[in-house]
Amino acid sequence: MSHDLQFYIDGAWVDPVVPDTLDVIDPSNEDAFARISLGSRADVDKAVAAAKRAFNTYGFTSVEERLDILNRVIEVYKKRSKDLAVAVSREMGAPRQMALDSQVGIGLAHLAKMAETLKNFQFRHVKGNHLVVKEPIGVVGLITPWNWPLNQITCKVGPALAAGCTMVLKPSEIAPLDAIIFAEIIDEAGVPKGVFNLVNGDGPGVGQALSSHPDIDMMSFTGSTRAGILVAKAAADTVKRVHQELGGKSANILFPDVDLATAVSKGVAGCFSNSGQSCNAPTRMFVPRDRHDEAAGYARTAAEKFTVGPADGANTKLGPVVSQVQFDKIQDLIQSGMDEGATLVAGGPGRPAELNRGYYVRPTVFADVTHDMRIAREEVFGPVLAILPYDTVEQAVEQANDTVYGLASYIQAKDLQKAREVAARMRSGNVYINYPQWDAGLPFGGYKQSGNGREYAEYGLEDFLEIKGIAGYEAAE
């Protein structure tokens, strides 16, 4: 039985209080292929009440009980991996194999890392005659985006379960089907009723109700900076904790000593991954001015290797972007790059010639970009790379940091010591030196308008905990 038109509340699939529906669009062909229900404040009230009741028990479970629950979720998640991949691929356009290997795979990695973290995490320690305890913060509201949906669901639900919190999840209404399957996984794994609740809906209908709800103790939000500000404002009156992972405009500084062909081609691949729809994508490539034209040539060659097509296409390397809204925003920014005088090296406005339906963006590279151009300052969230020439590394660092964002920075250099020195100066939550492998154990989060708080492993777990000091716990000698 399909649960697309239902919500998961208090351990059961239920109908919405007020019927209202929304089509789910396949970005590969612009056709509606599913329909979900949109929730209301009344649905949120039901879900929060269930979570609050469940916390009275789940908040006091042992580490061993919570670890057992996590491990059961992991096993069912593995069993449903192909179902999750198909859902993600159709709802947000990730190529089918990428959806399985990366989109679904990253979720499994987060759950596994959280189980490993929970085994060794110290929730209490004696300090003199006192005891310091880390306890679950309570009922948490989780709002997740459409671009890496399972990444964000698992790196919020995982630590919430591990901490002993109960929760209400509102996934993106643009890509909601993987979350419905995830709720089915939770149900099959036997997570106690009320611990996990799912209410689909949009920001005004469900997100605002969650953020302002007096019985929600914390909001964990991932999405745009604009929406994150609205969540924080809605949460302010109840003085709840707000954890945000927001936008980015990440710099990629290529030092003069690098193998330029390799560094540029890997930088293009990093920027275009997931059709450019990653908040930490290296979208601003800084190259030495005297090698700018050479770098632009390598970038053109790399961009032309990206085959654009439908998510289920056998040779597709870049699927569509997620929606008409995103497509239009990206087209506007590509046009702005041309209007402001950047050199179009590859791609450009419009769809690839052979594709007339679907939200397909041509893999685009601009050279001769200056620091004041929109494509150098605004988050494009599409497969668009800006190449900026620099005269000195000092100038590159200054311009890289001159942004309202601070999620990630990338540094490519043969001289590791110099790379480390520059890494220390980057105003971002993450710095990646020489394209390292992704690590689920590294903290993830931003400076400035890229958000606050951290996710992944013990850093994510800490964000779902309160600290209590119990004075006089030990008898005085």
pLDDT at 171: 98
187, 298: one domain: no
pLDDT digits (tens, 9 = 90+) for 400-435: 999 999 999 999 999 999 999 999 999 999 999 999
239, 300: one domain: no
For residue 178, tell me if it sits in a domain: yes
For residue 201, tell me if it sits in a domain: yes
* Contact by Cβ (8 Å): 193, 166: no
In percent, the amount of the chain with pLDDT more than 90 equals 99
* Contact by Cβ (8 Å): 141, 167: yes
* Contact by Cβ (8 Å): 272, 302: no
pLDDT digits (tens, 9 = 90+) for 103-114: 999 999 999 999
pLDDT at 44: 98
**Does pLDDT of 213 surpass 90?**
yes
**Does pLDDT of 299 surpass 70?**
yes
Please, what sign has the CA dihedral across residues 55, 118, 246, 82? negative
pLDDT at 271: 98
For residue 272, tell me if it sits in a domain: yes
In degrees, rounded to 5, the angle at the alpha carbon of residue 207 between the alpha carbons of residues 175 and 30 is 25
Structure-token match 């494009």, residue found: 380
Catalytic residue among 91, 173, 245, 458: 245
126, 179: one domain: yes
Write the CA distances from 1 to 66, 73, 184, integer angstroms.
29, 21, 11
pLDDT at 254: 98
Q: Which residues lie across from 170 on neighbouring strands?
A: 143
What range defines the domain where residue 413 resides?
Answer: 250-439
233, 260: one domain: no
Active site residue 165: no
pLDDT at 99: 98
> Can you state the angle between helices 63-79 and 81-92, rounded to 10 degrees?
70
Confidence of residue 181 (pLDDT cuts 50, 70, 90): very high
Confidence of residue 476 (pLDDT cuts 50, 70, 90): low
Catalytic residue among 155, 165, 271, 279: 279
260, 241: one domain: no
For residue 455, tell me if it sits in a domain: yes
Confidence of residue 477 (pLDDT cuts 50, 70, 90): low
pLDDT digits (tens, 9 = 90+) for 33-87: 999 999 999 999 999 999 999 999 999 999 999 999 999 999 999 999 999 999 9
65, 188: one domain: yes
Mean pLDDT of 441-461: 97
Q: Which amino acid is at 115?
A: A
For residue 40, tell me if it sits in a domain: yes
For residue 445, tell me if it sits in a domain: no
pLDDT at 1: 72
d(CA 132, CA 125): 5
Burial 293-320 (b: 16+ CB within 10 A, else e): eebbebbbebbeebebbbbeeeebbbbb
For residue 444, tell me if it sits in a domain: no
334, 410: one domain: yes
Rg (CA), the chain: 23
Structure-token match 């990695």, residue found: 109
Which bin fits 145, alpha (ψ -120 to 50), beta or left (φ > 0)? beta
Q: pTM of the full predicted structure?
A: 0.97
For residue 326, tell me if it sits in a domain: yes
Nearest CA to 158 among 115, 122, 116?
115
109, 90: one domain: yes
Backbone angles phi, psi at 6, to 5 degrees: -120, 170
CATH number at residue 279: 3.40.309.10
- Parallel, antiparallel or unpaired: strands 384-390 and 282-288: parallel
The gap from C-alpha 268 to its chain's centroid, in whole angstroms, comes to 20
147, 289: one domain: no
CATH number at residue 159: 3.40.605.10
Q: Is 1 helix (H, G, I), strand (E, B) or coil?
A: coil
pLDDT digits (tens, 9 = 90+) for 132-150: 999 999 999 999 999 999 9
Which bin fits 286, alpha (ψ -120 to 50), beta or left (φ > 0)? beta
Mean pLDDT of 191-198: 98
235, 260: one domain: no
d(CA 255, CA 329): 32
205, 277: one domain: no
Confidence of residue 442 (pLDDT cuts 50, 70, 90): very high
pLDDT at 474: 87
52, 188: one domain: yes
The total number of structural domains in the chain stands at 2
> Can you state the angle between helices 149-163 and 177-188, rounded to 10 degrees?
30
pLDDT digits (tens, 9 = 90+) for 360-373: 999 999 999 999 99
